[in-house]
Structure 1
Amino acid sequence: MKKNISSRLILLCLVVLCFACKAKKEAAPVLTTVPPEASNKTESIKAISENAFGFRTLSAKAKIDFKLNNTSNGANLNLRIRNDEVIWMSITAIAGIEVARVMVTPDSIKVYNRLQGEYLAKPFSFISRYSGRNVDFNTLQSLLLGNTIKGSVSQASEINWSGNQTVVKSSAKDLIYELIFNEHYKLIENRLRDSKGQQLNGKYSEFQAINGQNLPYSISLLSNAGNKNVRIDIKYSSVSVNEPVDFPFSVPKRFTVKD
């Protein structure tokens, strides 16, 4: 990873995960709408809910590739989550040297950059400068695990069936969703856009069983905003759930606090 990486670049990575993008409109898939008599909408919603990845704590190791326009940075990611409470990330260079550490809660975001000796602490609402006011902690957590975002699937949603795929279209809190699920009701594509045209496309594949549940080991998040093209690829190599985890975040006194 290049040594000129900054806390703002790390934050940008996080923001893109949260929905900071404006992408070209993609062609919609050809779908056949099945009447309610043939396919039960309520049962599909129930299956989607039951097949969401559930956990109390999660610990994972991954390789992450972040591409901004023609610049690419590869790194290793150590991820720890306490469901709905804390997301903790340690980012290391390929050589094994820790580059940065990130801790996110529903109320705050903290980042420190070892290479630059910088520390950034902001309320979670800081992300809204880049992503929109409707982005919250749950959005980020769901995108990292391939779960649906709260409010994106309900009885008010439009549901279509095509072969072995289920497509859900809905809107909530100024966000418009198009979600595609496989035959096991696992999310394989998640398209979001807001009323201003900002859009994010997440793709999920290479599912593996963890404690009887399926988790995508390959995640690709695509966006472009103006003249910025962003892609984040995450490849999990190991995942464990419901084991004790801690979230160390001690900032050295020599670090400079950034605005």
Structure 2
Amino acid sequence: MRKDTLSKVVFLCLLTFCFACRAKKEVAPPVASVPSVVNSKTASIKAITENAFNFKTLSAKAKIDFKFNNQSNGASLNLRMRNKEVIWMSITAIAGIEVARVMITPDSIKVHNRLQGEYLAKPFNFISQYSSRAIDFNILQNLLVGNATQGAVTEASEIHVTGSETAVKTAINGLMYELVFNDIYKLTENKLRDSKDQQLTALYSNFQALNGRNLPYAVSMLSNAGNKNVRIDIKYSSVSVNEPVDFPFSVPKRFTVKD
């Protein structure tokens, strides 16, 4: 992979990744904690809420395939999170060389571009140049674990149950959500659209039991904004939850600070 191409991949991966995740440990049947048929709106909301994936910390390894305007590149991903506090990512080339490291908090985004020896530090709202201003840290973390955004499934939402699927439509802070849940009330499709018709679609599948809940082991993220079409496909080899994790992020002195 060429250096300039990989640099673009790393940065665009971060921006689009402001959306995705997947899981480990045992390959077990999905956990069905509620009946497969829900008749009322209140019961649907309760089932969806009870089946959300809750965690304190999460650590995952995955292979990712990144497509930007029909150009495809592969890499490995090491993902660590502390709920509501930190998202940390290390992106590694096929040769096993770390090419980028990213740390995101509710207030900031920091990026090491190790290929070019550059360091970028920006406030979290920096991503609003590339996505909706309504995207915040909590929305990002929920996207990464396949949960509905807080406030997206309420009595005010438009909810329809058809067979084994539950469809939800709602609007929050200028973002229109179209959500589809399966028969165990896990999110299989999350479509976000803003007033400028920028659209992000997250697709979740291959659910496995982890820590008594279900987590998607396959994720596809599709982003369309202007003439930029980005897709990230993720296949996780392992995921663990609620174990001690660290988030190493020291900046080498040789790195150039980028504006």
TM-score, length basis structure 1: 0.89
Unaligned runs of 5+ in 1: 20-37
Aligned to 2:49: 49
1:137 aligned residue: 137
Query: In 2, Cα distance between the equivalents of 1:225 and 1:255?
Result: 31
The answer for the alignment partner of 1:255 in structure 2 is 255
Q: Deviations over 1:142-169 (max 9, x none)?
A: 1111111122111100110111000011
Q: Secondary structure at the match of 1:208?
A: strand
**Which residue does the alignment assign to 1:124?**
124
Q: Is the 8 A contact 2:57 2:80 kept in 1?
A: yes
Cα offset, 1:8, TM superposition: 5.7
The aligned runs of 1:60-75 (5 Å cut-off) are: 60-75=60-75
Amino acid at match of 2:228: K
**Are the counterparts in 2 of residues 7 and 112 from structure 1 also a CA contact under 8 Å?**
no
* Secondary structure of the corresponding residue to residue 253 of structure 2: coil
What amino acid is aligned across from residue 124 of structure 2 in structure 1? F
Output the CA distance in 2 between the equivalents of 1:7 and 1:137.
24
CA offset at residue 224 of structure 1? 2.2
Distance 1:166 1:242 in 2: 30
Partner secondary structure for residue 125 of structure 1: helix
CA distance in 2, matches of 1:149, 1:2: 37
Q: How does 1:228-243 map to 2 (within 5 A)?
A: 228-243=228-243
State the match for 1:99 in structure 2: 99
Query: What amino acid maps onto 2:230 in structure 1?
Result: V
Residue 200 (structure 2) aligns with = 200
Task: Work out the CA distance in 2 between the residues paired with 1:156 and 1:231.
Answer: 32
Q: Give SS of 2:49's match.
A: helix
> 1:139-197 CA deviation, whole Å, 9 max, x = no partner?
21111111111221111001101110000111111111110000000000011111221
SS in 1 for 2:189: strand
> Partner letter of residue 57 of structure 1?
T
Count of aligned residue pairs for this structure pair: 241
Question: Equivalences for 1:217-232 in 2 at 5 Å?
Answer: 217-232=217-232
Percent of aligned pairs with the same residue? 73
Q: CA offsets per residue over residues 4-56 of structure 1, 9 Å max, x none?
A: 2465642322222337xxxxxxxxxxxxxxxxxx8211111011011011000
Structure 1 runs, 4 residues or longer, greater than 6 Å off: none
Partner-residue secondary structure (3-state), 2:81: strand
Whether contact under 8 Å (1:17, 1:143) holds in the other structure is no
Letter in 2 for 1:150: Q
Whole-Å Cα distance in 1 between the matches of residues 214 and 2 of structure 2?
35
If the length of structure 2 is used for normalisation, what is the TM-score?
Answer: 0.89
Q: Which blocks of at least 5 consecutive residues in structure 2 are unaligned?
A: 20-37
Q: Output the CA distance in 2 between the equivalents of 1:9 and 1:227.
A: 16
Distance in 2 (alpha carbons) for counterparts of 1:92 and 1:8: 14
Distance 1:86 1:168 in 2: 29
Aligned twin of 1:179: 179
Kept in 2: contact 1:168–1:179 (CA 8 A): yes
Residues 1:247 and 1:5: Cα distance change in structure 2 (over 3 Å):
farther
Q: CA contact under 8 A between 2:101 and 2:111: conserved in structure 1?
A: yes
2:198–2:224 CA contact under 8 A, matched in 1:
no
How many angstroms apart in 1 are the aligned matches of 2:2 and 2:157? 44
User: What residue number does 2:190 align with?
Assistant: 190
Q: Tell me, yes or no, if the aligned pair for 2:9 and 2:66 is still in contact at 8 Å.
A: no
Contact 2:118-2:255 at 8 Å conserved across structures? yes
Give secondary structure in 1 for the equivalent of 2:106.
Answer: coil
AA matched with 1:81: M
